[in-house]
């Protein structure tokens, strides 16, 4: 993270508010879907540029982890193959050896599917957080009003 130096001092990167957290969800979910090394650095750089919450952006990249990568990236590959339109490979193995050996055949549908799924998840995450945050604020406002309007027992 030293690469980002003084940019890390921006207070907006550390605040929890509707704008910064919804942006962080969009950034983190998008980069989580992209099959590349160092996704956290890409998420951090994007969060800094967008002035979104940095810790949330970076943490959400871990949606893809060693346990979830095979099914998520396989799903992304199937989406990409469907969009191209291309027949998906039938002899798929969930191993690093198979993946590196087959990369020449699967990279286009994998990356297309990953980008499309990433955009859809980013939009869904952004929208869901905005709606949830608004709902929570309305609920808190109603509770405060009820407390104010409640007759005091004397």
110 in a domain, yes or no?
A: yes
152 in a domain, yes or no?
A: no
| C-alpha span between 42 and 61 (Å, rounded) | 10
Q: How many domains does the chain have?
A: 1
137: phi then psi, degrees, rounded to nearest 5? -65, -45
Task: Dig out the tokens for 15 from the structure.
Answer: 């605040």
Task: Dig out the tokens for 79 from the structure.
Answer: 């989406």
Neighbours of 42 (CB within 10 A): 18
| Domain range for 26 | 2-146
Closest by CA position to 36, among listed 105, 118, 95: 118
153 in a domain, yes or no?
A: no
101 in a domain, yes or no?
A: yes
58 in a domain, yes or no?
A: yes
**pLDDT tens, the chain, 154 aa long:** 555 666 666 667 778 888 899 999 999 999 999 999 999 999 999 999 998 999 999 999 999 998 999 899 999 999 999 999 888 888 877 777 877 888 888 899 999 999 999 999 999 999 999 999 999 999 999 888 888 887 766 5
74 in a domain, yes or no?
A: yes
DSSP for 43-105?
HHHHHHHHT--HHHHHHHGGGS-TTTHHHHHHHHHHHHHHHTT-PPPSS---SHHHHHHHHHH
27 in a domain, yes or no?
A: yes
81 in a domain, yes or no?
A: yes
| C-alpha span between 30 and 126 (Å, rounded) | 11
């Amino acid at each position: 993270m030293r690469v980002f130096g003084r940019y890390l001092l921006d207070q907006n990167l550390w605040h929890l508010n509707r704008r910064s957290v919804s942006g962080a969800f969009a950034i983190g979910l998008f980069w989580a879907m992209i099959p590349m090394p160092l996704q956290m650095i890409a998420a951090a750089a994007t969060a800094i540029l967008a002035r979104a919450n940095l810790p949330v952006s970076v943490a959400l990249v871990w949606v893809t982890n060693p346990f979830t990568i095979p099914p998520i990236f396989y799903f992304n590959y199937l989406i990409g193959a469907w969009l191209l339109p291309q027949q998906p490979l039938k002899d798929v193995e969930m191993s690093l050896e198979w993946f590196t050996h087959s990369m020449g055949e699967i990279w286009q549908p994998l990356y297309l599917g990953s980008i499309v799924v990433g955009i859809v998840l980013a939009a869904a995450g952004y929208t869901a957080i905005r709606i949830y945050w608004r709902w929570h604020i309305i609920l808190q406002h109603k509770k405060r009003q009820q407390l104010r309007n409640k007759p005091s027992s004397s």
